[in-house]
Amino acid sequence: MKIKTLLSAAILAASSFSTAAFADEVTLRGVSAFNLGTTFSREFEAFVDWINENGKGVVQIQLVGGPEAVPPFELGNAVQSGVVDIANNTTAFYPNLVPTGDAIHLAENTVQEQRANGCYDLIDRIHQEQMNVKFLARAGDGMGFHLYLTKPIDGPDLSGLTIRTTPVYQAMFSALGANLVRTAPGEVYSALERGAIDGYGWPAQGVLDLGWDEQTKYRVDPSFYNVDVNLLVNLDVWNGLTDEQRAKLEEGAAWMEELNAKNAEINAAEYAKQAEAGIETITLNDADADKWLETAQTEGWAAVDAVDAALSKELQACLTK
Ligand code: 173
């Protein structure tokens, strides 16, 4: 009930999984873990537009809002319980519900390859069983994560630094000696401003549209992992849809996943904009970069192994080359 009270009563009343306009048309309420209009809501909003354009008379999505509607770390529970019908969320924000979710960003193959080799079905099954959601689609593929800093480093040693984290960076950064503080994105700017943190983990894209460049001096290269931002549909809602409605949502999902191919180009443009905004690049030398990436993969998988060794093995087999 806590989350429900955060959602505007008017919005809930207006469209509680309603069949108002057409007998067969259903409207799903969607919430994003990221501010609307910013990088990690971009694909979701494009998907919503696509569905509302191509799903007339079949299925529509009403975008309720972002983190102001449901706090990011509570969105997993909200879509699990059906307070929200469809969520745009990353596994790092719902580790309590799908503790092996970290495996997804350790993937070395593309979403399309994962659909072809059965890995998508495995990830979907885990989400259905553990979280009561249909794993509809994945955005963010083709984009890595970085460490951003307010002070320079000269190698992969983070001891003495306090770094903002999520489960994505936890295993790697702590193995490299950092002190870690877990926060939602909304708290990063003020933590930097106050000097409470010396840096933060974040993807290649999105620093500028959050204004964090004002408080950021360095980006450490190379990037590691692959971003996952996922469309999750409450499973009871999903199972209550008609075949036609589900097919339309899956068509939109495939369309959205094609957008991942643009990430290489967008990453390059974003790096150029970061440089223009005064963010310097610290490029680790070859040996240090090897250690950086080796630590990322080894510690990342060790953390998934520790949660569920059997599932970790199954995921590793279809996510790595
Ligand atoms: O750093 C984060 O908040 C995080 O884990 C994440 C994951 C996917 C997209 C953006 C941020």
Higher per-residue confidence, 4 vs 268: 268
Query: Which residue out of 168, 170, 180 has the highest number of ligand 1 atoms within 8 Å of its CB and is therefore the one to mutate?
Result: 168
pLDDT of 11 reads 44
Work out which ligand 1 atom sits closest to the CA atom of 201.
1
Confidence of residue 105 (pLDDT cuts 50, 70, 90): very high
pLDDT at site 274: 98
Q: Which of 16-20, 77-81, 116-120, 188-192 has the least mean pLDDT?
A: 16-20
**Sheet strands (E) in 3-121:** 26-32, 59-65, 86-89
Report the alpha-carbon distance of residue 265 to residue 140 in Å, rounded.
Answer: 13
Question: CB of 40 closer than 6 A to ligand 1?
Answer: yes
Q: What is the pLDDT of residue 23?
A: 57
Q: Give buried/exposed letters for 262-281 (b at 16+ CB in 10 A, else e).
A: ebeebbeebbeebeeeebee
Question: Is the model's pLDDT at 291 over the cut of 80?
Answer: yes
Residue 185 alpha carbon, nearest atom of ligand 1: 3
Percent of the chain residues past pLDDT 90, beyond the cut: 92
Q: Is the CB of 144 under 6 A from ligand 1?
A: no
- Which residues, including other chains, have CB under 8 Å from residue 270's CB and lie 6 or more apart? 204, 205, 206, 207, 208
Task: Output the pLDDT for position 8.
Answer: 46
**Strands 145-149 and 59-65, bridge-based pairing:** unpaired
Measured between alpha carbons, how far is 280 from 271 in angstroms, rounded to an integer?
Answer: 10
166-192 per-position pLDDT tens digit: 999 999 999 999 999 999 999 999 999
In the chain, the domains with their CATH numbers are 2-142+227-263 (3.40.190.170), 145-226+271-319 (3.40.190.170)
- Is 227's C-beta closer than 6 angstroms to any atom of ligand 1? yes
d(CA 123, CA 115): 10
Closest ligand 1 atom to residue 227 Cα is 8
Q: How many CB atoms lie within 10 A of CB 219?
A: 23
Tell me the CA–centroid distance for residue 251 and ligand 1, in Å.
Answer: 26
User: What is the full DSSP assignment across 27-41?
Assistant: EEEEEESS-TTSHHH
Examine the pLDDT at 18 and tell me if it is beyond 70.
no
Ligand 1: which atom is nearest the Cα of residue 167? 5
- Please report the ipTM that was assigned to this predicted complex: 0.99
pLDDT tens digits, residue range 238-289? Answer: 999 999 999 999 999 999 999 999 999 999 999 999 999 999 999 999 999 9
- Residue 12: which pLDDT band, with cuts at 50, 70 and 90? very low
Distance 202 CA to ligand 1 centre (A): 6
187 to 67, 145, 179, 278, 287: CA distances (angstroms)? 12, 18, 17, 22, 34
User: Looking at the predicted structure, is the pLDDT value of residue 17 above 90?
Assistant: no
Phi/psi zone of residue 276: left (φ > 0), alpha (ψ -120 to 50 degrees), beta? alpha
Write down the pLDDT at residue 321.
84
Query: Can you tell me the mean pLDDT for 140-169?
Result: 97
- Which residue's CA is minimally distant from atom 1 of ligand 1? 202
Residue 58 alpha carbon to ligand 1 centre in Å: 33
Q: Is the beta carbon of 7 within 6 A of some atom in ligand 1? A: no
Q: In what helix (H) or strand (E) does residue 291 lie, and over which residues does it extend?
A: helix 286-307
- Residue with CA nearest ligand 1 atom 11: 202
> How far away, in angstroms, is 163 Cα from ligand 1 center?
14
The residue contributing the CA closest to ligand 1 atom 7 is 90
| Nearest CA residue ID for atom 3, ligand 1 | 185
Q: What percent of the chain lies above the pLDDT cut of 70?
A: 93
Query: pLDDT-derived band of residue 1, with 50, 70 and 90 as boundaries?
Result: very low
Give me the pLDDT at residue 15, please. Answer: 47
Q: Report pLDDT for 5.
A: 46
72 lines ligand 1 (CB under 6 A): no
* Spatial strand order in the sheet of 133-139: 59-65, 26-32, 86-89, 229-234, 133-139
Which of 279, 228, 232 lies closest to 114 in space, CA to CA? Answer: 228
- 317 Cα distance to chain centroid: 22
